[in-house]
A and B are shown apart, each in its own frame.
Chain A
Amino acid sequence: MDEALEKKFMLYFANAVASVYTKMLDFQPKMEGIKKEEKTWVKETGVITLVPFNGKFSGRLLLVFDPLSALILHNEINGESTKTVNDETLFTHGEFGNICAGHAITEINNAFRGSNVRLAPPSVFSGKELTFFNFKMNHYSIVMAVMGGKLTLNVALKES
């Protein structure tokens, strides 16, 4: 899979995340450029949603919210004023990730007819310096400025 195609693929995820975030929180994230990661792993702190996918293109999406922006997402969506990450925070982030990934995959399957990319359910992690490895795949990142901090989108993918 050539790099230009992979970056195009990445943009579908980025645009979906920005669109869903804007609709849900009435705040337009500001995106930086796409960066190709050199390592096969990423190390992150905060609330991280992982959505695997498979089809003609396979891999996984990571949505990494820093701790403050993670709580803001929870509170804005649920109308609460939670100060610490709890199970409902994780559930909210899982749903958010699922919606974003669903939007992206719809666009990808429309753009690449026959690719039949399908999502697995999201998993959500919270902690410090959590490391995510995916071997034999290329990784790309985009950082977005969101309410209260930043959201890092990381996609690992390969053509099946």
Chain B
Amino acid sequence: MFSDLAESFKDTLSSFGLETFLTDTFEVPFHSIECDVIILLGIVGSLKGVLTFEYDDNATHSIIRTMMPGAENEPLGEMSLSALSEIGNICGGMFLSRCKREGTDITPPTIVTGKNIKAMINNNKTYRFYLSLASGTIVVSLSFS
């Protein structure tokens, strides 16, 4: 299941012409966050959990530059965030499809932004992997209740 998620995310970005490289994978005791831009999706049904995608500034810049040329030089606006949100949405759907878990669905994405965010996403075991994109880092985390 974890490899399904990693492949789904890489395939999603690849479909937009963005090549990523998996750098690290971990199992950590709880689901927290590290970056200032977070896309959060809930998983409901026979599996219940939370999926997050976090982007640092460089990764955000690379994605926006590819998907919306010219917009990368402007402050992060609604159109840019919508593009990031859509990546999470597509990946989440692809991941559930690959898992073949009946009776499971994802919720619409919520984007959270801010500085020095303290968060508790889930206090259960979390699968986390890091990908590099250009000179940036993307963190994908998945935890279940």
Q: Which residues of A contact B (CB under 8 A)?
A: 40-41, 50-55, 58-60, 85, 87, 90-91, 94, 118-121, 123-135, 137, 156, 158
Interface size class of B (residues with CB under 8 A): 20 to 34
Q: How far is the CB of B51 from chain A (nearest CB, A)?
A: 9
Are the CB atoms of B122 and A121 closer together than 8 Å?
Answer: yes
Asked if A135 meets B85 with Cβ closer than 8 Å, knowing A41-B78, A121-B42, the reply is yes
A contact residues around B118 at 8 Å (CB): 85, 90, 125-127
Are the CB atoms of B48 and A131 closer together than 8 Å?
Answer: no
**Cα separation A126 to B32 with both chains bound (whole Å):** 12
A-B contact count (CB 8 A): 116
> Which residue on A lies nearest to B119, using beta carbons?
A125
Majority secondary structure of chain A interface residues (helix, strand, loop or mixed): strand
For residue B72, CB closer than 8 A to chain A, the reply is no
- Please pick, from B44, B81, B114, the residue contacting A120 in the complex, using a CB distance under 8 A: B44
- Please pick, from A54, A85, A135, A158, the residue contacting B82 in the complex, using a CB distance under 8 A: A135
Are the CB atoms of A128 and B122 closer together than 8 Å?
Answer: no
Majority secondary structure of chain B interface residues (helix, strand, loop or mixed): strand
- Please pick, from A40, A123, A126, the residue contacting B78 in the complex, using a CB distance under 8 A: A40
Q: How far is the CB of B77 from chain A (nearest CB, A)?
A: 10
Q: How far is the CB of B28 from chain A (nearest CB, A)?
A: 15
> Which residue on B lies nearest to A90, using beta carbons?
B120
